[in-house]
Each structure stands twice: as structure tokens, then as C-alpha cells.
Amino acid sequence: MPDLSVNFAGIKSPNPFWLASAPPTNSGYQIMKAFDKGWGGAVWKTLGVPVVNVSSRYGSVNYRDTRMMGFNNIELITDRPLADNLREIEEVKKYFPNNAVIASLMVETREQWHQIVKDVENAGADGIELNFGCPHGMCERGMGSAVGQDPKILELIVSWVMEVAKIPVIVKLTPNISHIEDPALAAKAGGGNAVSLINTIQSIVGLDIDTFNAYPNVDGNSTNGGYCGPAVKPIALNMVKNVAKIPNFNLPISGIGGVENWRDAVEFVLLGAGTVQVCTAVMHYGFGIIREIVSGFEQYMVDKGFNTVDEMIGRALPNVKTWENLNLKYKIVADIDEAKCIGCQLCYIACEDGAHQAIGLADDLANRKPHIIEENCVGCNLCSLVCPVENCITMVRKDSGKEHLTWKERTVNDDIPVTFNDQRGGGVGHYIPEPKEAIAYRLK
């Protein structure tokens, strides 16, 4: 069997699946339960001066019959006294010495940082995560994302922590910033041992249009929250990729954002994450989902011949390039499998109204199966994405596979369109219906 254990910046864990710092890690009780179910590590709900929270605290984005596709919260850091948390950290480590317990921290002054770092080390934490990401409430007080959005301050605070830290320090980054590389480099400059990302995205999940208030409702008012859940995964994957691609960055990355199953976890690892952290999926389904994550992840490793997680880290990175380095000669077109087609015509209307008018309908109205107009097809994928039938529309390669030419190369060769009516534009010669054909039925 493949080996799932990891050593993340010096933090040892039986598997790369950690609970993110959030409500599921609010107490020793929850974390012991999670470890018992199979989670490798847990990042404790952020410690600091205990807060006072509001009610309610969570909002959800439901898509059709899928609940909590997106999720946000306006909950702050721990509201429990530090002493209680420290005592519970000690107890968890006593029962689960091989699992990773990481203390998430958020305080203000240098003295407070020094004190709390020593406190959690004494309690037996295996590592520390600096919460520079929380985009609601705490940022109004100069903490959380307010730090993460200012690389200079971030670097300074990391350096304070490193003055005393004896255990590995992970810097958790906020996605509420234009260039994620800047705080990542600041974390490194400050001496941090690893980064984790993403924290939640500033959000309003929706409105109660009857009361004119946003969700979640706190006595007729609301505030922006932090967005997470499956909906944010694409944003998180991209940011993990951006950090992993920083030349000579070399710090381990803990990937966070919408991980719900083994596939999500594999994706984060292939883009450069050494561990993945999970919160929303546990808030939705409980700690038991770890069974599915471990089982699928392990089977994937077997199928692909990976023996360790390390072998997987960043394996997809070389293939994800800047746009200018993509092959302009690659040409695919859609192909509809008539035997599988159920005649919903979603591909037709999607292409007709939403793309390139490259799908036609039969003249015989009884035949509901659309056909591809190959010369109009730009190979955009849209039809295959809207098709509700598995493998009914496939994209078939049409170029020889021998030619390779990128925008970058064309630029070097001085062979790119440069004026507004340049005949080298990609759409020149491509069929576009005349505007009035759109209302032909009315003109008749």
C-alpha cells in the first residue's frame, strides 16, 4: 500500500488531510473525535484574546437542489479562554501523539505574539499557523486579513514570531489581494517555514429580498463574511498554483479551499500542496467524510503508481503555463455520439446563442439530434460541458499533432495582429451569420 504519511515543514502527520482552523476544531472533544475517525492533523480554532460572537453566523449559497455549494461565516476567532484551549491541546496530544496538532494564532502586539507562541509550544502543539486571513470582524481591528493584505506588516509579525518559535510556523494567507505572490514572499522573508492558503474570500452570500437585508441576519443587519465551500475551489487552486510557481520559493504549501472529496485533495497536491485542509465539508457532513477521502486518495496513488505523497506534489505544475505559451496549432472539434444523444438540444442553443453557431438541427423536426457544423466549430468545449449525457459529446483532435506555435513565438516572429483590422486576427474568415438573420422569422 502507498504511504500516506507526510512531513510538512517538520510537522509529521499520518496523512496529509487536516482540519482547517474553524468551528470543527473549536475544542479538544471535536479534534479527538476527528483523529479517531482518521484525520491526520487539525489546525486549532484560532487562539488569541477571546472574542464575543453574534447570532446568527453562517450563510449559504444553494444551487438548485445542492445545499451549501458556497458557504460564508461571520464568526470570529475562539471565544474560549486560552487556558482551557491549552489544557485541551495537551490532552489531545496525550491520546494522539502521532497526529498533528497545529495552533492557529492571532494577536496584536509583539509581546502577545511571544507569549502565545511559548504557551502553545509548552502545551505540546506540533506547529503554529498564523491567521493573517480572516476577512471579517478581526480585520476591522487591524488583525487577520488586514495583516495579510499588507506584506510589510505580515513580514514584520512573522519575524516577531520567529524570534521565539521552536516549532514550525505556517503563515496562512488571505485571497483578498491582487497578487498572492506578494504576501507569500513576505512570509518567506519573515522567516516562516510554510504557507497555507486560501483563507476565506470576503463575501455576501445573498439577500433576503423581502427584508432588504443580507445573509446571515443579525437582528435586521448583516455584514460581509468569509466565503468558502466547493464554490471557492477554482480560486484556491489557482492561488496555490501561483504560489507554487514562484521561482525558488521552496516553502511547503498547505492547500485550502473547497476540498470535499479525494479528487479535490489530489488536485491541490498535484498543483503543489503538501497537505490539504478541510472545513466546510466537515461542517456539512461531519468528520466521517475522511473515510472517502483516504480511500479515494489511496486508490489513486495505487492506480498511478505513487508510493508517497511527496512524489505527487506539484506534478501538474509544468503543464499549467501562461496563456502565451499555449499551442495555437492544437485544433479540436466537437463530435456528437448519435446513439447516446437524448435530444435535449442544450448543445444547440448553447452554441447558437452562447458561442459560435456551429451546431445545426435537422430539417426533419421529428429528428431532435443536433449535428456539428465542423467548419464553424472553434473547439471551445461548451457543447460538451452542457451535454447532460456522459461521453455523448467528445472533442476530437483534428490537427496533425506535429505543429507547435505559441503567441509568444508569433510575437518574436513579428506575426501577430497589431492593427484594428489586421487580417491576421483569428476570426478572419470564420463564418458569422448576418445580424438580420437573427430576426428573419419576424421579417417574413
* Segment lying near other proteins (by CB under 8 A), choices 9-17, 272-280, 294-302, 341-349: 341-349
375 vs 390, beta carbon nearer other proteins: 390
d(CA 3, CA 312): 12
For other proteins, the closer CB: 73 or 376: 376
Task: Say whether residue 344 binds other proteins (CB under 8 A).
Answer: yes
Q: Report the alpha-carbon distance of residue 256 to residue 265 in Å, rounded.
A: 9
Per-position DSSP letters for 164-186, written without gaps between them: H--S-EEEEPPS-SS-THHHHHH
For residue 209, say if its preceding peptide bond is cis, omega within 30 degrees of 0.
no
Using CA atoms, how far apart are residues 401 and 396, in angstroms rounded to an integer? 12
DSSP single-letter state for residue 109? S
Q: Which residues contact residue 79 at a Cβ distance below 8 angstroms, ignoring those fewer than 6 apart?
A: 50, 51, 52, 53
- 372, β-bridge pairs: 359
- Note whether 389 binds other proteins by CB under 8 A: yes
Which range binds other proteins by CB under 8 A, 98-106, 275-283, 343-351, 423-431?
343-351
The reply to whether 343 sits near other proteins by the rule CB under 8 A is: yes
Residues in the chain: 444
Does 349 participate in binding other proteins (rule CB under 8 A)? Answer: yes
Residue with smaller CB distance to other proteins, 245 or 340: 340
Active site residue 383: no
Query: What element of type H or E holds 189?
Result: helix 181-189
d(CA 107, CA 88): 20
The interface region with other proteins, picked from 124-132, 198-206, 228-236, 337-345 by CB under 8 A, is 337-345
Size of the site for other proteins (CB under 8 A): 13
| Collapsed DSSP state (helix, strand, coil) of residue 263 | helix
- Residue 433 contacts other proteins per CB under 8 A: no
| Cell numbers at 403, concatenated | 505543429
Shortest distance, position 435 Cβ to other proteins, whole Å: 21
Question: Using the rule CB under 8 A, is 345 a contact of other proteins?
Answer: yes
Examine residue 371 and tell whether it contacts other proteins (CB under 8 A): no
Task: Collapse the DSSP code of 287 into the 3-class scheme (helix H, G, I; strand E, B; otherwise coil) and give the result.
Answer: helix
For residue 202, state whether it binds other proteins (rule: CB under 8 A). Answer: no
> By CB under 8 A, is residue 368 in contact with other proteins?
yes
Q: Which of 49, 189, 317, 346 binds other proteins (CB under 8 A)?
A: 346
What's the DSSP call for residue 329? T
Stretch that binds other proteins, among 87-95, 161-169, 200-208, 344-352 (CB under 8 A): 344-352
Q: Which of 83, 302, 326, 342 binds other proteins (CB under 8 A)?
A: 342
Window 43 to 102, contacts with other proteins (CB under 8 A): 64-65
Q: Stretches 46-54, 71-79, 293-301, 335-343: which one binds other proteins (CB under 8 A)?
A: 335-343
Task: Enumerate the β-bridge partners of residue 13.
Answer: 6
Helix axes 110-123 and 82-95, enclosed angle (nearest 10)? 30
* Cis ω for the linkage preceding 234 (within 30 of 0): no
Q: Where are the alpha helices (DSSP H) in 261-381?
A: 262-270, 280-285, 290-304, 346-354
Q: Where do we find the cell 517555514?
A: 193
Q: Interface with other proteins includes 211 (CB under 8 A)? A: no
Name which of 64 and 166 has its Cβ closer to other proteins.
64
Least separation in angstroms between residue 343's CB and other proteins is 5
In the complex, minimum distance from the CB of residue 64 to other proteins, in angstroms, rounded to a whole number: 4
CA atoms within 13 A on the CB side of 291: 7
Of 220, 388, 426, 435, which one interacts with other proteins (CB under 8 A)? Answer: 388
CB of 431 to other proteins, least distance (A): 21
Residues that bind other proteins (CB under 8 A): 64-65, 341-346, 348-349, 368, 388-389
Active site residues: 134
